[in-house]
Amino acid sequence: MKIRCLYLSIFILAFALCLLSFVSFEDEPCDGIEVDNYPYMCKGIDSLSPIGDYNSIDMGLNTIGGDTTSLSKLYDKLLRIKKGSDEVVSILHIGDSHIQGGYFTNKTRDLLASEFGFAGNGLIMPYRIIKTNGELDYSIKSVNDWTKYDITRYAQRAKAGFTGYTIESSNKAVEFVINSDSSYNLVRVLHGEKSPLLMVEPSLADLTIPNIATTESTDILLNRGVNSVVLRGRVWNEYNNHSYYGFILENGKPGVLYHTLGVNGACFKHYNDSTKFKSLSILDPDLIVVSLGTNDSFYTPIKDSELKSDIQEVVSNLKKIAPQRPIILTTPVENFRNYSSSGRARKEPNIHIDNVSNIIESVVVADSLLLWDFRSVMGGKGSSNWLTQKGVIRRDGIHFTVEGYEIQGELLYDAIARGYNSYIQGL
């Protein structure tokens, strides 16, 4: 009897030690521990999402591929912040409606901020004013009359700002109310060259500084952190007009500043049509992510050479505004499109997605860029079927549900985390 009890005690102890070891292994990367004096990032989606519910996701492919040596300066800067530096890492994420909605990029931003700190909302857009979707954790309101211009409209592209949108008003006096869930003490106004200065109430004003690098940006420094501010401006003569592209909110703290720049319906060619694209340099990004291709797959027939040229032109323009900065191209996930035969419409997987993804990958190789192959991570060809079954894709067969976009955001974070952790392991 005593021997049996002894065996039972040993078994229970061994089981407890194994369980403790397992928990330690799972939680270790998220405890902020240091290995060889280098702090790791949290593991990512392995511990943050019910990934077991989505067995078709191939986590083994969830990496940043391509010329990963170009990420060294970014990782070094993140590491310095992790160790207490007061620097800011600026990330610019360009895309279409998948980006404009904000659910995808906000998830990536929040997870990065949980590791390195939150430096502010970054680029925010007056989506409510132009009556479109967006503005999840902030709002921009105005009682004035506004006209919208965007880069997807051929006749409007000359007036569309470098953020993809422009709003203009013929009112002599305008007012913006900017609210945010998080506080900020700097408002950067992105505006047309002839726009008057926007001012805050005297009790908040510290300094208003036109940006010396461009005539399309003005910094408004506040004397304290706020969650809401009112900006007012007035046209005094016929040489001025109210023309605005968006705003940037910063809080003066170290960490990640994630700029989300999405335009509904945008293709690669639309960003090339923008006459003000070069002004994006004021964002000074440490990393650029480009998530386009979904809408390109619906413009058929399109010649492979034309699409490749469009992608390479976007890349070339980005390299001009941010020389020597890493650029990640992402592949679009498989979606559905409507086909018709014998007078009957049917919805089937979009057969052009594979080709678009292959062309994106060819540009990555040819131009020594970086690739996040989201299409393959989600299962590649045929993945639209399981995405539909799990309710990850909406009824339109193109856009994700909120849960789907948040999974996408966690996956991108996880891919960055893996690259960062691998890099510091080699130091």
The CATH number covering residue 132 comes to 2.60.120
Residue 188 lies in a domain: yes
Give the structural domain span for 113: 35-119+255-338+345-427
pLDDT in the model for residue 220: 94
Predicted structure pTM score: 0.88
pLDDT in the model for residue 339: 66
Sort strands 287-291 and 88-95 into parallel, antiparallel or unpaired.
parallel
Phi, psi of 139 (to 5 degrees): -150, 145
Low-confidence winner among 183-197, 230-244, 384-398 (lowest mean pLDDT): 384-398
Residue 7 lies in a domain: no
The DSSP bridge partners found for residue 297 are none
Q: Which two tokens stand for residue 75?
A: 């990782």
Regarding whether 307 and 201 lie in a shared domain, the answer is: no
Low-confidence winner among 4-13, 183-192, 307-316, 369-378 (lowest mean pLDDT): 4-13
Domain final position from 234, 252, 270: 252
The CATH number covering residue 424 comes to 3.40.50.1110
Strand residue runs (E) in 170-216: 173-191, 205-210
Residue 111 lies in a domain: yes
Sort strands 173-191 and 242-250 into parallel, antiparallel or unpaired.
antiparallel
Q: Which two tokens stand for residue 355?
A: 């080709």
Residue 23 lies in a domain: no
Tallying the residues shown for the chain, one arrives at 427
Q: Which two tokens stand for residue 420?
A: 């960062």
> Is residue 408 scored above 90 in pLDDT?
yes
> Is residue 116 scored above 80 in pLDDT?
yes
Strand residue runs (E) in 37-136: 38-39, 65-66, 88-95, 122-124
Strand residue runs (E) in 97-161: 122-124, 138-141, 147-150
* Per-residue pLDDT tens digits for 323-352: 999 999 999 998 877 666 666 666 777 888
Regarding whether 274 and 232 lie in a shared domain, the answer is: no
DSSP letter for 144, please. S
> Is residue 14 scored above 50 in pLDDT?
no
Residue 265 lies in a domain: yes
Across residues 266-280, what is the average pLDDT? 85
Residue 6 lies in a domain: no
CA distance 138 to 231: 15
CA distance 191 to 174: 13
Domain final position from 219, 235, 252: 252
Residue 18 lies in a domain: no
Regarding whether 267 and 242 lie in a shared domain, the answer is: no
* Per-residue pLDDT tens digits for 356-391: 999 999 999 999 999 999 999 998 888 888 888 888
Regarding whether 245 and 176 lie in a shared domain, the answer is: yes
Q: Which two tokens stand for residue 242?
A: 């109210």
- Report the sign of the C-alpha dihedral through residues 190, 191, 192, 193, in that order: negative
Q: Which two tokens stand for residue 314?
A: 């976007």
Regarding whether 296 and 281 lie in a shared domain, the answer is: yes
Q: Is the distance from CB of 377 to CB of 57 less than 8 angstroms?
A: yes
CA distance 189 to 79: 30
Cα torsion 312, 316, 321, 327 to 10°: value is 50
What distance lies between CA 95 and its chain's CA centroid?
Answer: 8
Quick one: pLDDT band at residue 43, thresholds 50, 70, 90? low
What distance lies between CA 179 and its chain's CA centroid?
Answer: 20
Q: Which two tokens stand for residue 397?
A: 């067969």
Q: Is the distance from CB of 240 to CB of 206 less than 8 angstroms?
A: no
Ordered alpha helix ranges (H), 101-257? 103-116
Q: Which two tokens stand for residue 43?
A: 């593991």
The whole-chain average pLDDT of the chain stands at: 86
Regarding whether 318 and 305 lie in a shared domain, the answer is: yes
Contacts of 38 (CB under 8 A, 6+ apart): 79, 424, 425, 427
The total number of structural domains in the chain stands at 2
Regarding whether 299 and 259 lie in a shared domain, the answer is: yes
Sort strands 287-291 and 327-330 into parallel, antiparallel or unpaired.
parallel
DSSP letter for 136, please. S
Selection from 30-34, 66-70, 200-204 with the highest mean pLDDT:
66-70
Q: Which two tokens stand for residue 360?
A: 């994106």
Residue 173 lies in a domain: yes
Q: Is the distance from CB of 96 to CB of 263 less than 8 angstroms?
A: yes
Regarding whether 139 and 93 lie in a shared domain, the answer is: no
Domain final position from 224, 252, 280: 252
- The neighbour count for residue 154, using CB atoms within 10 Å, is 9
Q: Is the distance from CB of 115 to CB of 42 less than 8 angstroms?
A: yes
Q: Which two tokens stand for residue 414?
A: 């996880």
